[in-house]
A and B are shown apart, each in its own frame.
Chain A
């Protein structure tokens, strides 16, 4: 048992230390891949054995929810780690020297901080480590050392920290709610769930609203999304993939922890309704801005807002929709890996982020264009990719709950978003070059980024079709913890 804790926490810590000291990027890369692989191995071990490696009654513990989100984290992280040398190799300008040195330490500390968030069961400590995840990525969001990326990192640090202030007030309110419940109730999740019946519902409600507002800055839900959009769109490809695919999911886990408590008290209905409203609003905002976006990285960032909105909304619906939401979190992280890797490559090769100045991507960058197009169909929820199945589960849940209003909002906005996104992406891929510009292909070769992206897109299919028990068993048990049935 001890060795899984070591793999999950000590290894990233060691790797952070090592990469911070090491001057060789190759060695740092190796250390990062080792820690990522070890992390993934430990995660699979935990998933298969369904164990909690931490002693009971401590601030730490891994439940089904934790195991599932660990998988999202370590899978995304490994993909990003594998692509990193390919990315850094193209960043040879002298002004990137400092950024290159900071890259691997930041990545490893990100892994450590996120793992801590997932394994922490005490809300106070959770807040502390949640701040760490914000800090860990700050140096690499500012990778390009440009005015825009500086502004993005400033706003990100500032707004997310402000959001976390609200979260902390929410945690204090939760403490007040627990105070009435008895002497022994601490701020540990399992204790709070156990004593949920005795919690003061009013304070639980206050806590849930404040925590939701606060964490939504980190999840990237409207109206707290702008900082997230700026940061994701100005960060380099792999970092953006990490943010969109894993950081937001981890933040989602924090929201689910609050939701878990709220679901076991009388504010269940209220919190469900809140999540549904907020999710629909995010979808609406994403639908509007995806049409307006002129920058494809921002477009992808808004697609993240959309998907986190979908996840929030279906979490609120509950039942099969919540199962769909959890799966969607996993599949979304796969899609975001491919999309942001490709966006980063296109940006480096064509030196532009304007949608309108990119033409004939399929001819100029055949591999990146192809994978980018595939990833677009993936993220739009086209069969046979996984996202299609998770969205189907959500629809099933909404029908089951007879929530026709949410169902119709969901479908209409998804359609609007699909049209808006395809308008931009297909234009980039297919539109003919304006006359007079050279049409020469850039002679792109197959790269590890393409391999990783293709793998990420493909792996969702068997998961969705065969529904392996090691993954779906925990998911179903999560639903019962929340008090939902299929």
Chain B
């Protein structure tokens, strides 16, 4: 049911947002200039630029078609329309309905799509390159947006932006943490989406380095003004989303709400300016990894909503399966170690969530031990082995091979199907159990397929992780002494294997002992 705000302030806010958006960009630019020791242009400079552009003649390239003419209007209007969906501090959004955040995401998506098309339309190779870069970022940005807002919808049980914001119960202890993590991911999303510093540099006009700016190189006059204004609207949109999320007084006390709202905005602007001053632009090839922080925090928020135990266990298990797929495509030793660390966190998470309802000191001890052994002790010991043996960065005996990915995927699917069959015999959670089986099988597959001994140890540890998940999946609770004993066993085993690998080096100085095939009949 679509509700239109009856509060005139909401509509007033909409128009003032449209008018005030360039001011935010101006403030950021000014602050940036001051931080880097320059005096900088006036905060009103964006307005002057917009006016200047509007008065100029619009020139179209002869090779461009109607898309170039339509795109600026669509980009601007979609972005402007999203402002209608935005709750502004204590005031309700102008328009709100269930699932409006999906509309918001896809309005922005439509604008981006048209912009990419327009960039291709002018038939310049530079702009084509910019378009491809923009598209690549868009691919990563979308899941982050939905993981973040999806988990918020899951937590609050509400589905429109405005009701989500108002439904955040600040009295519950877990909400603040949850919201802070969510806003961090939105903040990083803002940096990438609005082409800010570590990802894109809005100030250079060197075609090779730019992402967003290069797409609008051929736009001029009124069209360019629309693009620029839409960009500043987008920045404002994300900034307001964050401040709305972090606003505990929003719906209780308008005065405190407005004050806090502005306060958060100021902090945000300062952060943005500081980041842009302190950091250099990423290399293009490491840019996609700039998404790793928002991505992981988004996954974290999605999976850490302790209000839906089953959903969370499933989400963590699916993430575990993803680490297995990653294992299949990587040949880097460091990735092996990182996968183990990540899996350790996931395993501990699954454990904590599964026993969340009656969490006791025993559970705490075991969860702590899982974290200690699987994310700290064993990985750091493996790092030590890699360093001591001077193994280099790669699993030299193995090149990347797509077949292995196919096999692991097959194993995961088969394990899930098998686990589904188990439900006929005994009540189990299908996805966690399937994940456990998948881990056990893939660990075995890794041992069989890779020849490097370290990879065998990794495979063994993954099997152990799967075993632990299996125990959680069937809810087999052992006394904590026994569990701790099992961890100790595991550590001793890895320790002994490390010693053995150390000795191997003295026997096979060159290859770190990739072949152990002397003994046979």
Contacts and interface: CB of A to CB of B under 8 A. Distances in A.
B384 interface: no
Interface stretch (B158-166, B193-201, B301-309, B463-471): B463-471
A391 B132 CA distance: 79
Given A127-B486, A151-B516, A168 B521 contact: no
A154 B518 CA distance: 12
A30 interface: no
B497 A128 contact: no
Interface stretch (B174-182, B259-267, B500-508): B500-508
A138 B496 contact: yes
Contact of B519 (A128, A132, A151, A176): A151
Contacts of A129: 485
B105 to A, nearest CB: 43
Interface residues of B, number: 35
Contacts of B493: 131, 135, 157, 161
B259 to A, nearest CB: 57
B428 to A, nearest CB: 9
Interface of B: 425-426, 440, 444, 447, 453, 456, 460, 463-464, 467, 470-471, 474, 476, 478-479, 481-482, 485-486, 488-489, 492-493, 496-497, 500, 503-504, 507, 516, 518-519, 521
A267 interface: no
19 contacts: A128-B488, A131-B492, A135-B493, A150-B504, A151-B518, A154-B453, A154-B504, A157-B497, A161-B460, A165-B463, A168-B467, A169-B440, A169-B470, A172-B476, A175-B476, A176-B426, A176-B476, A187-B478, A289-B521
A109 B456 CA distance: 27
Nearest to B483: A124
Contacts of A155: 516, 519
B487 to A, nearest CB: 10
Contact of A125 (B482, B496, B518): B482
Query: Which 8 A-B residue pairings sit nearest by Cβ, starting from the closest?
Result: A128-B485, A124-B482, A131-B489, A175-B476, A124-B478, A151-B516, A230-B519, A147-B507
B464 to A, nearest CB: 7
Contacts of A132: 489
Contacts of B489: 128, 131-132, 135
Interface of A: 122, 124-125, 127-129, 131-132, 135, 138, 142, 145, 147-148, 150-155, 157-158, 161-162, 165, 168-169, 172, 175-176, 187, 202-203, 230, 234, 289, 292-293, 298
A153 B500 contact: yes
Nearest to A127: B486
Contacts of B440: 165, 169
Interface of B is mostly: helix
A135 B463 contact: no
Given A125-B482, A135-B493, A175-B474, A158 B518 contact: no
Contacts of B456: 158
A234 B519 contact: yes
A381 B437 CA distance: 45
Contacts of A128: 482, 485-486, 488-489
Contacts of B425: 202-203
Contacts of B460: 158, 161-162
B497 A125 contact: no
Nearest to B492: A135
Contacts of B485: 125, 128-129
Contacts of A176: 426, 474, 476
Contacts of A175: 474, 476
Contacts of A230: 519
A162 B463 contact: yes
Contacts of B516: 151, 154-155
A241 to B, nearest CB: 20
A172 B503 CA distance: 36
Given A131-B493, A132-B489, A176-B474, A150 B503 contact: yes
B474 to A, nearest CB: 6
A161 B447 CA distance: 13
Contacts of B447: 162
Contacts of A172: 470-471, 474, 476
B463 A292 contact: no
Given A154-B453, A157-B497, A165-B464, A293 B482 contact: no
B123 to A, nearest CB: 60
A298 B500 CA distance: 23
Max chain A CB contacts within 10 Å: which of B447, B492, B493? B493
A234 B518 CA distance: 12
Nearest to B476: A175
Given A128-B489, A131-B489, A147-B507, A293 B521 contact: yes
B519 A135 contact: no
Which among A122, A125, A150, A298 has the highest number of chain B CB atoms within 10 Å?
Answer: A150
Contacts of B497: 154, 157-158
A169 B486 CA distance: 13
Contacts of A162: 444, 447, 460, 463
Contacts of B479: 124
Contacts of B464: 165
Given A128-B489, A147-B518, A172-B470, A135 B507 contact: no
A147 B500 CA distance: 11
Nearest to B516: A151
A147 B516 CA distance: 9
A135 B460 CA distance: 16
A282 to B, nearest CB: 15
Contacts of A122: 482
B518 to A, nearest CB: 6
A175 B470 CA distance: 12
A145 B503 contact: yes
Contacts of A293: 521
Nearest to B453: A154
Contacts of B519: 148, 151-152, 155, 230, 234
A155 to B, nearest CB: 7
Given A135-B492, A151-B516, A151-B519, 6 more contacts: A125-B482, A142-B500, A150-B504, A158-B497, A161-B460, A172-B470
A150 B482 contact: no
A162 B463 CA distance: 9
A145 B503 CA distance: 8
B97 to A, nearest CB: 47
A127 B484 CA distance: 12
A173 to B, nearest CB: 8
Nearest to A187: B478
A150 B476 contact: no
A478 to B, nearest CB: 26
B442 to A, nearest CB: 13
Nearest to A154: B500
B470 A150 contact: no
A3 to B, nearest CB: 25
A146 to B, nearest CB: 8
B521 A292 contact: yes
Contacts of B496: 135, 138, 157
B449 to A, nearest CB: 15
B122 to A, nearest CB: 61
A125 B500 CA distance: 27
A154 B460 CA distance: 13
A169 B467 contact: yes
A215 to B, nearest CB: 16
B354 to A, nearest CB: 14
Nearest to A293: B521
Most chain A CB atoms below 10 A, which of B470, B481, B482: B482
B421 to A, nearest CB: 13
Nearest to A152: B519
Nearest to B464: A165
Contacts of A157: 493, 496-497, 500
B402 to A, nearest CB: 27
B228 to A, nearest CB: 61
B500 to A, nearest CB: 5
Nearest to B487: A128
A153 B453 CA distance: 13
